[in-house]
Structure 1
Amino acid sequence: MKLNIVPARTGTRWARDGVRTFFKQPLAILGLFFMFVVSISLVALIPFVGGVLALVLVPAATVGLMAAAREADAGRFPMPLTLAVALRQGPQPRRAILILGAFYAVAVMVAMGVSAMIDGGRFAELYVGGGGITEEMIQDASFRTAMWAFTLLYLPISIAFWHAPALVHWHGVSPLKSLFFSTVAVFRNLGAFFLYGLMWMAMSFAAGLVLVVIAAITGSASIATFGLMPIAIMVASMFFSSLWFTFRDSFTADQELSPVTS
């Protein structure tokens, strides 16, 4: 396995590739992303341990979405079982991805614990249970501080786990080493990731702006209200599709990666 240093402009191509791949198989990728959200949400409902188990499964499910993008990019239709590909590769690979998931769960819970100490757990409850941010929450200084504290703490977590699930799954890297290699890869390609992030911010803003313009033209605010969720899901599906390309271009395998088995 070799780390690649890519030009900064590659970040814009990663985002475009995510959009392009999504439109190759939009129904399949949307369906798999919906399965991802529903599966994690259902696991989170298990009493006492559900929230932790849901976090443990996030890296494995992320590999599934990346594998789906890889299949779609190759012109193949990603099947539903693709989402669980990281858990279907034998005892040792499954154990490795679940250990990585345990690391992720601990890291996120520590970040949530810090935010809970600031606002009494209101932001953590919102993060775990879902729901919308109310005006009262926005006006609450402790809630805002907790939100920013979690965001700042989650940033290094995101960097460490960006490539880690894929490194564990496709390259057989140990969970601890995958976190190190992922961090190094992101920082060595920081210019590309900066432009990549800007592209997704711009696309998210553009999608929201389109809804606002349509609502203004039609004089119906409900269009923006009801259209927000489908647009958000579509953009999120495109984003998760783009993760495969950030990994593919950041590392070169010693041998050709095996195809996804459905």
Structure 2
Amino acid sequence: MKLTIVPARMGFVWVRQGIRTFWKQPLAMSGLFFLFMAWVSLVSMIPMIGNVIALVLLPAMTLGLMAATSVAEQGKFPMPGILLVAFRSGQAKVKDMLILGLLYAMGFIGVMGLSVLVDGGLFAGVYLMGAPINSEKVNNPAFQNAMWVAMGLYLPLSMMFWHAPALLHWHGVPPVKSLFFSLVASWRNFGAFTVYTLAWLAVFLVAGAAMLIVVSLVGDPGLAETIMMPIALLMAAMFFTSVYFTVRDCFGEMVPATEKPLP
């Protein structure tokens, strides 16, 4: 395993690779993303501990989407079982992945906990506990401040966990070391990740503007509610498809030749 420092323009390349690979297997990649969302939603519904369990499983499920992308890139159809690849690699790796997930859950809850100090828990209640959101909350200055604080604190957390599941699973890096290497890789390639983030933001804005134009031409407000959510989910699926390439180009090929093929 060797860290590669990539030029900033690679951010555009990652976005293009993600979109192109998604359209190689659009049915599979969108279906897997919807399944991923459904599993997270179902687990979150478990009383009291559901949200925590969902956070613990998130790194493993993200790894599953990366593995699916590696299969789709070859023009093959990734099957649903690939989402569970993290739990089919031996007890040691399963244990390490769960430790990684627990660290992520602790970090995320810590971020939300610090935001509580700003607005008394309004933002954390919406984002973590699923509390209803309304215009009164959104326009509350304390809520907005808490949102910005949470976003600022989540950035280093995201940098630590961006590469970590892949490093743990495909390179055998222990959980804590994987967080360190991921943070270093994200920082050393900060230019590429900045371009990557801005490029995806532009893609989402253009797609949203195009949808609004179509809805305004049709003149049916109800149509917006019908098509906005599915298209937004498809765009999110394309984004998650691109994540694999950001990791692969920073650390090299992610699927060792010795790994057993998945059904």
1:261 aligns with 2:246: no
Counterparts of 2:20 and 2:131 in 1: how far apart (Å)? 31
CA distance in 1, matches of 2:254, 2:84: 25
1:57-72 alignment, distance < 5 Å: 57-72=57-72
8 Å CA contact 2:111–2:154 kept in 1: the answer is yes
* Superposition CA RMSD, Å: 1.6
1:219 and 2:219 are equivalent in the alignment: yes
Partner of 2:182: 182
Greater displacement, 170-179 / 132-141 = 132-141
Name the counterpart of 1:242. 242
Counterpart mapping for 1:80-159 below 5 A: 80-130=80-130, 133-159=133-159
Is the 8 Å Cα contact of residues 58 and 101 (structure 1) preserved in structure 2? yes
Deviation per CA, 1:129-155: give whole Å up to 9, x if none: 447742111211111111111111111
Distance in 1 (CA, whole Å) between partners of 2:193 and 2:260 is 27
Query: Post-superposition shift, 1:222?
Result: 2.2
Question: 1:128: how far off?
Answer: 2.5
Task: Give the percent of matched residue pairs that are identical in Structure 1 and Structure 2.
Answer: 50
- Compute the TM-score of the two structures, normalised by the length of structure 1: 0.95
SS of structure 2 residue aligned to 1:67: helix
TM-score, normalising length from structure 2? 0.95
Residue 223 (structure 1) shift: 2.3
Instruction: Tell me the number of residue pairs that the alignment of Structure 1 and Structure 2 aligns.
Output: 262
Determine helix, strand or coil for the equivalent of 1:3.
coil
Which 5+ residue runs of structure 2 have no aligned equivalent?
none
After superposition, what is the alpha-carbon deviation per residue over 1:83-117, rounded to whole angstroms, capped at 9, x for unaligned? 01011111001011110000000000001111123
| CA-to-aligned-CA distance 1:190-226 (integer Å, 9 cap, x gap) | 1111111111000000111011101121122222222
The residue aligned with 1:207 is: 207
Bigger shift: 248-257 or 60-69?
248-257
Q: Is the 8 A contact 1:15 1:196 kept in 2?
A: yes
Q: Distance in 2 between matches of 1:259 and 1:234?
A: 30
- Return closer, same or farther for 1:260/1:134 CA change in 2, 3 Å cut-off: farther
Distance 1:196 1:148 in 2: 21
Measured in 1, the distance between the counterparts of 2:241 and 2:112 equals: 27
Structure 1 residues 54 and 225: alpha-carbon distance in aligned structure 2, compared to 1, 3 A threshold? same
1:124–1:18 CA distance, 2 compared to 1 (3 A): same
Q: 1:261 corresponds to which letter in structure 2?
A: L
Which residue of structure 2 lines up, in the alignment, with residue 169 of structure 1?
A: 169
Match of 2:196 in 1: 196
Q: Which amino acid aligns with 1:206?
A: V
Hey, what does 1:29 align to over in structure 2?
Answer: 29
Distance of aligned partners of 1:214 and 1:132 in 2 relative to their CA distance in 1, 3 Å threshold? farther
Q: Secondary structure of 1:126's match? A: helix
In the alignment, the residues of structure 1 paired with residue 115 and residue 194 of structure 2 have an alpha-carbon distance, to the nearest angstrom, of 26
Bigger Cα displacement from structure 2, 227-236 vs 130-139: 130-139
